[in-house]
Structure 1
Amino acid sequence: MAVAALAAVLGGLLGDGANAWQWLHWLAKPLATALVIVAALAGPPIAPRYRRWIVAGLVCSLLGDVLLMLPTDLFVAGLLAFLAGHLCFIAGFLGDSRLGTRPLAWLGCLLVAAVNLVGLWPSIPPALRVPVAVYALVLSAMGAQALGRAWSHAGDALARPARRAAIGGLLFMLSDSLLAWNRFHGALPLAVVWVLGSYYAAVWFIARSVAQDEGVAAAGAVRTSLT
């Protein structure tokens, strides 16, 4: 997965039009996400229900990857694919945490979304303002639920998997914030490195949150309650 992610970044940096580097980007970008999905499917999960929702979210992310990298303008379609992915992630997190758990986590994530929207609003085309605002709300809700869930599970059998999901959720927020500033406000230096680097780290951590830690198998009661 790391090799494919590096190839996607390199192809994005050096690609221009339809040259070989651009083709490398087009091939490696979805391949890296596909390999993340394979990782999520490997080994025993903390809960079958949780894995189903996380894999569904990763598949939506893979679709979003393809839609956003195509030479035609499919930005809204890609946005909808990723929005569906975040809703799947939230559904997975709700298997063992209530919606809105840890209000401080929600306040922090929603504040980040609000600051981004306020800063970007004048630069966002009017036709895209509502889709972008809805996406920002759902993205911040995903990050907030992941963070609140990790907070709630601190010290129990799901602490480490929940912490991985929280790291992934926050990295997803970072990646999409960088993408939005680069697209709507102005080109960021080496944007593809920072955007794709944080994105692949995000989906990797979320995928790894599916797997049991060694010794967690003994916590069968916890796992059963989630299925």
Structure 2
Amino acid sequence: MKDEKTAQILKYVFIVIAVTELLSHAMEWNWLNQFTKPLLMPVLLVYFRKGMKGPVNLSFILGVFALLFSWFGDVALMYVHQEDWFFLLGLGAFAVAQSFYFFSFKHARSSEEKQTPLLQHIFNIFPFAVFAIGLLYTLWPFLNGLKIPVTIYATLICTMALGAVYRNGRTSTESFNQVVFGAILFILSDSLIAINKFYAPMENASIWIMGTYILAQWNIVNGLQKGNYSNI
């Protein structure tokens, strides 16, 4: 009961920080952004733990590492305007985070394994492959020396989303829907970063990028809290 009350409090704390973060971008209050952005993932991480219905498990531990590397990525990207290599550092941190999320999703399901037909594999992979290829094709002339890192990252984040999709029928419907929604929002947020940085600067880009990113992380964490977990 105590953890449930703490989780409820942290939920509202996170919402306040998230709204303040978006407000800092809307009002161009960079001083406020320096305070709110680094707080997002730590508060969400504690909320993740307090909101878990069962004991600590492998999926939770992997999810914690995903949030930690997301925090590293958040902080690194705050300093891109000072040195370009901070972008690569942030990209690398988020690449590791996507890998941890993939394996977290793999264990955030019941122990029952079902054989997936070949046609279902194709149906699952096709939309992500088309999106990734289309985005990379559009950005390719502008990526210069970042072609390989961006391609690797695009592959990893689509693989992460596929990990969410493959939980279908292996966890609760609510958990599945929320994690998939979060994974898709994560792809959208990172795509907006790439388009804004390499292709065409967007109006209010930081609001759209952070808004979709915050919702992505929130939905993934809440979805994982509601899942069925294997003991593997």
Tell me whether the two structures share a fold, i.e. TM-score over 0.5. yes
Report the more deviating stretch, 126-135 or 140-149.
Answer: 140-149
Q: What is the percent sequence identity of the aligned residues? A: 29
Partner of 2:204: 190
1 CA distance for matches of 2:42 and 2:57?
A: 19
Question: 1:14 Cα deviation (Å)?
Answer: 3.2
**Cα offset, 1:159, TM superposition:** 2.3
Could you give the per-residue CA deviations for residues 36-76 of structure 1, whole angstroms, max 9, x where no partner exists?
A: 11221113346611111111101110110000012423000
Q: Distance in 1 between matches of 2:153 and 2:53?
A: 29
Counterpart position of 1:12: 25
CA positional deviation for 1:10:
2.2
1:107 and 2:126 equivalent?
A: yes
Give me the CA root mean square deviation: 2.1
Q: Which amino acid aligns with 2:152?
A: V
- How far apart, CA to CA, are the structure 2 residues paired with 1:92 and 1:165? 11
Name 1:62's counterpart in structure 2. Answer: 71
Q: Which amino acid aligns with 1:137?
A: T
Alignment partner, residue 34 of structure 1: 42
Between the aligned partners of 2:77 and 2:152, the Cα distance in structure 1 is 18
Runs of 4+ with deviation above 6 angstroms:
none
- With over 3 angstroms needed to count, the CA separation of the structure-2 counterparts of 1:209 and 1:24, relative to structure 1, is same
Corresponding position: 1:158 with 2:172: yes
CA deviation profile, 1:175-195 (whole Å, cap 9, x unmatched) = 001111001011111111111
5+ long unaligned stretches in structure 2: 1-13
TM-score, normalization by structure 2: 0.82
Q: Structure 1, residues 112-159: CA drift from partner, whole Å, max 9, x if none?
A: 1111100111111x211100000000011111221232x233xxx522
Q: SS where residue 201 of structure 2 aligns?
A: coil
Aligned to 1:72: 82
Q: What is the 5 A alignment of 1:71-220? A: 71-73=81-83, 74-95=86-107, 96=109, 102-103=120-121, 104-124=123-143, 126-149=144-167, 151-153=168-170, 158-212=172-226
Separation in 1, partners of 2:205, 2:44? 22
CA distance in 1, matches of 2:47, 2:172: 19
Residues 64-92 of structure 1 deviation map (CA, whole Å, 9 limit, x = unaligned): 00000124230001000000000000011
The CA distance in 2 between the partners of 1:191 and 1:122, in whole Å, is 21
Asked whether the equivalents of residues 164 and 205 of structure 1 are also in contact (C-alpha less than 8 Å), the reply is yes
Please give the alpha-carbon distance, in whole angstroms, between the structure 2 residues aligned to 1:57 and 1:200: 14
Structure 1 unaligned spans of 5+:
16-20, 214-221
Q: How many residues align?
A: 207
- Once structures 1 and 2 are overlaid, which stretch shifts more, 21-30 or 36-45? 36-45
